[in-house]
Structure 1
Amino acid sequence: MTHEAGWAHAPGALAGPAWLRAPEDVNRLESQLWPSTARKDDAGVLHVGGIALPDLVAEHNTPAYILDEADFRSRAAAFRDAFAGWDVYYAGKAFLCTAVARWVAEEGLSLDVCSDGELTVALRADVDPARIGYHGNNKTLLELRRAVAEGVGRIIVDSLHEIERLETIAAELVSRGSTEVRPRVMVRVTAGVEAHTHEYIATAHEDQKFGFSITSGDALAAVRRLHEADGIEVLGLHSHIGSQIFDASGFEVAARRVLTLHAQIERDLGLTMPEMDLGGGFGIAYTTQDDPSTPAVLAAAMNQIVDHECRAQGVARPQLSIEPGRAIVGPSMCTVYTVGTVKQVALDGGAQRSYVSVDGGMSDNIRTALYDADYSATLANRASPIPATISRVVGKHCEAGDIVVRDEFLPGDVRPGDLIAVPGTGAYCRSMASNYNHSLRPPVIAVKDGEARVIVRRETVDDLLATDLG
């Protein structure tokens, strides 16, 4: 619960969350939070991808994002195999670079982008444009022209103004006699489902910026207009209910409402739409309190939901697609920091909290400050014989809210020069990173089978000053 005077004044803020328990062994790794290759050796040193983190730090410094390529590929393949017969689009907004886009294509997934920059990366990686979906609530005419010209497989339409722009593009193509190139679209709808997640990442309720409302009739009107436009192909409906969702229950209500509209469109407009996208938002374990479903469990539940609703509506099952992003890249990456200072702060009742300051912060992971997100952490360079103490891992930025891990048990002897590693940082950390306080964004280092390579280099001062014209 927040407080108007700040988080520290909220009830229980200084006591830590109820779910957090002191570990029996502070050196033990909670394996469900980490990439599959992560382990600690007898000396307490954390290894990922067959490489000791202190060795990586000696070469590449900190902070740094460490991406386990084998784990990423394994999670991508798990969604591909569990959702056999579906089209699986990796949500590039979670984290995208050229190497990752190639891995996605090599594992047989399609790719979802939501900006011209993300589209550029996808094309640079030689991703087949026909396997690219293009999201966004405010696509410009120039962006749409490029997407159509490049042969993007589907554009997810989000507003009447976007429909006007697509009508303009389609008319231009028709006037030139083009029959091979035309906009292929899906209509994003809001199903009125309240996903149990942070309000900033719940995207299917009515009062927000995305999509056309089913309840108001706007969605049906949007489909009718696109259907009547010359030169535009309507593929189907798209629904996304939010993010960090642990089971399929929310998809049941969304699927029912979207398929009801799908059946109404077939009946009233005579339009048979071949596809339907139920979005993504599948959650991961950031802490021991989280218990996400596996791709196999999600697939079984969602197949059952869709089959039941199609029978109820009397419609053929469309070609289905989903858009996992966080669930693939989130657990595959961790961030390693160097401790700079440690400060003991007295709490109410005689307790103490250890403030562990590291050389990164909200510039490389904004989610704690933005979403009140929880993370875990571990001492990565050694084992400790000292009992655990309640700690807060904080950054070096000039903000009281610059917190990386709000509450965690770390050894009582954490000291300057130690390495702290934070799991689950693959999604929306590097992709939302900033230059706040003129900090330099960290590199992304891919590790696999004892080999490491930089796939996104660390920014330099020259990068920082390149746009500053003085």
Structure 2
Amino acid sequence: MLLHGTSRIDEKGQLEIGGCNAVELAAEFGTPLFVYDEAQIRSKCRAFVTAFQESGLAFQVAYASKAFCTMAMCKLIEEEGLSLDVVSGGELYTALEAGFPAERIHFHGNNKSIEEMEMALDTGIGCFVADNFYELGLLNQLGKERGKQVNVLLRITPGVEAHTHEYISTGQQDSKFGFDMMSGQALEAIQFALNAEALHLLGTHCHIGSQIFETNGFVLTVERVISFLAEAKAKLGFEPAVLNVGGGFGIYYVEGDTPRTPGEYVKAIATTVRRECEEHDLALPELWIEPGRSIVGDAGTTLYRIGSTKEIPGMRKYVAVDGGMTDNLRPALYQAKYEAALANRMLDEAEETVSIAGKCCESGDMLIWDIQLPKVRAGDILAVPSTGAYGYAMANNYNRIARPAVVFVRDGHAELVVEREQLSDLVRLDRLPKRINL
């Protein structure tokens, strides 16, 4: 298992994260447990910012909160000086409750409700990333009612299909997201926004997918988008103040994954923006990006306690843990792959090949197929790294299983940032019909 950030093997031969012993964390806070390496998160934030500072371009780095959104995470992002992307009223509410500056919040989503738009407008967020004509019309109406100019970016689809899983490719022409660039729809959207009384068009946004290792997809995207913006300048007289190229920067999950550094991604994008703007006689826009997974993904480790085993002679040995698809839906949803180790016996040699099963009443609740581990015992602590993105964010109560706790660790100190759900929480919103006799 590759160790990330501050993770190391301590003098006991056990996993340590942020100066905290993982076995002791499991004992104190219970399992399953999400453990976040705070120093690693901050390091990634600073790496993106530093890369942009070196580029010389005006910029914003906005954390894509859908990867992992809690009040503590929003506060950390604020401290690091980043902006914040939200995609729902719930994420917006979380950010505001954490005291995040509304003017640094960008609101995404392909079907924002009127209530969500009103909430965002009334709290003074920085901009909306508009996805369709319906939304543009509503934003214009709501802005006029409030006597406000609404800042918008138009999400456009540049027709670039990044090398990624088909379910998380979002930049291709056939997508539920954004205005199609190739059919003329995106140009029509620019015209609509320019003519709308209460809309202030900042520029364009695009996002070509997730878990992208190479830079060529971003280069091609910038080339296509700036060529399109040159057309918009010629036909409509519009030059963007902002060019948002989204996120999707990959991280390491298993052997064979080869992500670039933040600096490599930013340099490729910034260099292409400079070249293409000069070639097409466009003023340099402020450049925005939206890393999410690449900031928190490899900073998170999930700790499980091993329970039962089942061996099918000549076929497979199943090892069950006390979590599964309720705290990590990605293997079932995307066939995502992970590494793992026994946190309490990091130096023991691997002796057997096992498959890690979750505890849900579902055959598809498998976290890892065919991984080599030391001879496992009930009570061992299994550590699964790179679960910081879309683990807790997608956590659910299937089988009425309570969601895990979350801790931040740094310099030997662990702090609970999300309490473990209790069984009473599972029925807190339930109501029995009055017609049922109790």
**Aligning the two structures, in what range does the TM-score lie when normalised by the shorter sequence?**
over 0.9
What SS does structure 2 have at the residue aligned with 1:234? strand
How far is the alpha carbon of 1:386 from its aligned partner? 4.9
CA positional deviation for 1:271? 2.1
Query: Which residue is equivalent to 1:454?
Result: 416
Post-superposition CA distance 1:108-132 (Å, at most 9, x none): 1110001011111111122111111
1:288 alignment partner, SS class = coil
In the alignment, does 2:2 pair up with 1:30? yes
Match of 1:55 in 2: 24
Alpha-carbon distance in 2 for matches of 1:126, 1:266? 39
Could you say which residue in structure 2 is the equivalent of 1:81? 50
Residue aligning to 1:113:
86
Distance of 1:364 and 1:387 partners within structure 2: 26
Within a 5 Å distance, the mapping from 1:240-251 to structure 2 comes to 240-251=207-218
Q: Which residue of 2 aligns with 1:12?
A: none
Q: Give me the whole-angstrom Cα distance separating, in 2, the residues matched to 1:123 and 1:384.
A: 44
Tell me, yes or no, if the aligned pair for 2:9 and 2:346 is still in contact at 8 Å.
no
**Greater than 4 Å deviation, 4+ residue runs:** 383-386
In the alignment, the residues of structure 2 paired with residue 319 and residue 168 of structure 1 have an alpha-carbon distance, to the nearest angstrom, of 28
Task: Name the counterpart of 2:379.
Answer: 417
Distance 1:287 1:101 in 2: 28
SS for the counterpart of 1:75 is helix
Q: Give, in angstroms, the shift of residue 245 of structure 1.
A: 0.3
**CA RMSD in angstroms, aligned pairs only:** 1.3
SS at match of 1:468: coil
Alignment partner, residue 9 of structure 1: none
Does residue 98 of structure 2 align to residue 136 of structure 1? Answer: no
Q: Which one-letter code corresponds to 1:256 in the other structure? A: E
Letter in 2 for 1:259: I
What letter matches 1:415 in structure 2?
R
Which has the higher mean CA deviation after the structures are superposed, 261-270 or 63-72?
261-270
1:148–1:182 contact (8 Å) kept in structure 2: no
For 2:301, the equivalent position in structure 1 comes to: 334
* C-alpha distance in structure 2 between counterparts of 1:225 and 1:183, whole Å: 14
Per the alignment, residue 322 of structure 1 pairs with 289
- C-alpha deviation, 1:311, in angstroms: 2.1
| TM-superposition CA deviations, 1:215-264 (whole Å, max 9, x none) | 01111101100110112100000010000001211012211111112112
Which amino acid in the other structure matches residue 222 of structure 2?
A
More deviation, 375-384/422-431? 375-384
- CA distance, structure 2, for counterparts of residue 121 and residue 438 of structure 1: 24
Q: Distance in 2 between matches of 1:204 and 1:116?
A: 24
2-structure distance, mates of 1:332, 1:416: 27
Task: Give the Cα separation in 2 of the matches to 1:397 and 1:191.
Answer: 40
Corresponding position of 1:361: 324
* 2:361 paired with 1:398: yes
TM-score using structure 1 length: 0.89
Say whether residues 1:172 and 2:145 are aligned partners.
yes
Q: Give the distance between the partners of 2:427 and 2:206, measured in 1 at CA.
A: 41
Seen in structure 2, the aligned counterparts of structure 1 residues 197 and 441 have a Cα distance that, compared at 3 Å, is same
Residues 387, 125 of structure 1: alpha-carbon distance in 2 compared, 3 angstrom cutoff: closer
CA distance in 1, matches of 2:156, 2:370: 38
On the 8 A contact 1:63/1:335 being kept in 2, the answer is: yes
Which residue type is aligned with residue 156 of structure 1? V
Amino acid of the structure 2 residue aligned with 1:376? E
Question: Quick check: 1:65 aligned with 2:37?
Answer: no
Identity %: 44
The question of whether the paired residues in 2 share the 8 Å contact of 1:190 and 1:212 is answered with yes
How big is each residue's C-alpha offset from its partner over 1:190-238, in whole Å with a ceiling of 9 and x where there is no partner?
0111111111110011222000000011111011001101121000000
Q: What is residue 98 of structure 1 aligned with on the other side?
A: 71
CA contact (8 A) 2:141 2:198 kept: no
**Are 1:156 and 2:156 matched, yes or no?**
no
254, 267, 270: which is aligned to 2:237? 270
Aligned length: 428
Deviation at residue 384 of structure 1 after TM alignment: 5.9
Are the counterparts in 2 of residues 353 and 389 from structure 1 also a CA contact under 8 Å?
no
Q: Is residue 46 of structure 1 aligned with residue 15 of structure 2?
A: yes
State the distance in 1 between where 2:46 and 2:350 align: 40
Measured after TM superposition, the shift of residue 385 of structure 1 is: 4.5
- Structure 1 Cα separation of the partners of residues 265 and 271 of structure 2: 10
Structure 1: runs of 5 or more not aligned = 1-28
CA distance in 2, matches of 1:386, 1:287: 19
Equivalent AA in structure 1 for residue 105 of structure 2:
I
Listed one character per residue, the Cα deviations across residues 263-318 of structure 1 (whole Å, up to 9, x for unaligned) are 12222111222001000000100012111000111111111111221122221111
Number of the residue aligned with 2:226 = 259
Q: What is aligned with 2:436?
A: none
Moved more, 67-76 or 365-374: 67-76
Report if the CA contact (8 A) 2:154-2:205 is conserved.
Answer: yes
Q: Which ranges of structure 2 fall in alignment gaps of 5 or more residues?
A: 433-438
Alpha-carbon spacing, 1:251–1:386, altered in 2? closer, same or farther (3 Å): closer
- 3-state SS in 1 of match to 2:393: coil
Residue of structure 1 equivalent to 2:435:
none
- 2:277 is the alignment partner of 1:310: yes
Change (3 A) 1:387 1:94: closer
Deviation of 1:354 after TM superposition, in Å, equals 2.7
> Which whole-Å CA distance do the structure 1 matches of 2:88 and 2:271 have between them?
33
Provide TM-score, normalisation by structure 2. 0.95
Q: Show CA shifts across 1:297-355 (max 9, x none).
A: 111111111122112222111111000000000011100000001222345xxxx5331
Hey, what does 1:7 align to over in structure 2? none
2 CA distance for matches of 1:386 and 1:323?
A: 40
1:429 to 373, 391, 396: 391
The 2-side partners of 1:50 and 1:288 are apart by 25
